[in-house]
Amino acid sequence: MEPSIPSKGRNHRRRSSAHPGNFTTIQSGVNALSLNTTIPQVLFIYPGTYIEQVYIPLLRSNLTVQGWTTDARSYEHNTATITFNLSKLSVASNDLTATVRQWNTNTKFYNLNIANTFGHVDVNGQNLAVSAHTGNQGYYGVQFWGYQDTILANTGNQLYAKSLIVGAIDFIFGQTATAWFEKVDIRTIATGYITASGRSAATNPSWYVISHSTVDGINDTVPAGSSSLGRPWSSFARVVFQNTYLGNVIQPAGWSVWSSGVAGNTLNVTFGEYANYGPGSIAEEGPRANFSSQLDVPISRETVLGDGYENEWWVDMRYL
């Protein structure tokens, strides 16, 4: 399964590689993209490890970012890695810590590994792999590696499919994104919380729905019961896990409060589960936290991404 790439002559191809006539860094390839054309553009990344922070600005065109792979159907054969080492100790915002700062709308990523290797400190330890700062973004066969705040799914419609997401604390987080995660492998590396929804009001459209996925420790050294499905960064947090395998790293209560004060932000949350299974599910554990619920029906993609989402350019239905 290869993503549909426009034919040569109808798009602007930019390659990050040491080959003559191309680019030796990802950012130099990004900088060579046209800010003004409306013709779809492609950034193709050869195998290798690129140690840099990448900022993709707002373009007028659609953008495809494709990493080299022998099998685009999953993340397992990815050969192109972008990695950086930065936390909020050194910069003024979460976004500025990200290895990839993705600010363009209508963007698709395929078969890249994106990592922030900072690790962890107790204060200002946020270290993002990706800041998905705008809407209409799709990530397919991508690996995301971090510790705290791995993915900032911040604004608008976003789709993550057949990907790997690794972290420990609040490692899927944001404020107003309507984000759907399909057939993703979520792996914890230490004690913590998988999601941290910053939905701050009933009128905020934000959703995080993890569907037909797996949750487990990255290896056998991660203790049982060491993680929760999420905690509410803001008081109207809305997160659902459905039809998903939950390993024994999930604690029996399933969900956590944000802090010990003001009911821990739990009075207006929507923390739901539907038909999950495995040793970390309510079928094997329980009782769940009293501010969470078991749903009677699953959440639909249309509820999160809108009617007609399957016809959007940034949505690749072959991965769903």
122 included as an active-site residue: no
Question: What letter represents residue 219's amino acid?
Answer: N
Question: What letter represents residue 154's amino acid?
Answer: N
Q: Which residues 6+ apart lie within 8 Å of 221 measured at CB?
A: none
For residues 127 and 273, the answer to whether their CB atoms sit within 8 Å is: no
- Across 119-150, b (16+ Cβ under 10 Å) vs e yields eeeeeebbbbbbbbbbbbbbbbbbbbbbbbbb
Residue 45: how many CB atoms within 10 A of its CB?
25
In this structure, what token pair is assigned to residue 87? Answer: 């936390």
Question: What letter represents residue 231's amino acid?
Answer: R
Q: Which of 149, 170, 185, 316 is catalytic?
A: 170
Give the whole-angstrom CA distance, residue 144 versus residue 153. Answer: 12
Give the whole-angstrom CA distance, residue 35 versus residue 171. Answer: 31
Please provide residue 216's backbone torsions phi and psi, each rounded to the nearest 5 degrees. -165, 175
In this structure, what token pair is assigned to residue 245? Answer: 């395998």
Please choose, from the candidates 152, 149, 150, the residue with its C-alpha nearest in 3D space to the C-alpha of residue 134: 152
Among all residues, which ones are annotated catalytic?
Answer: 170
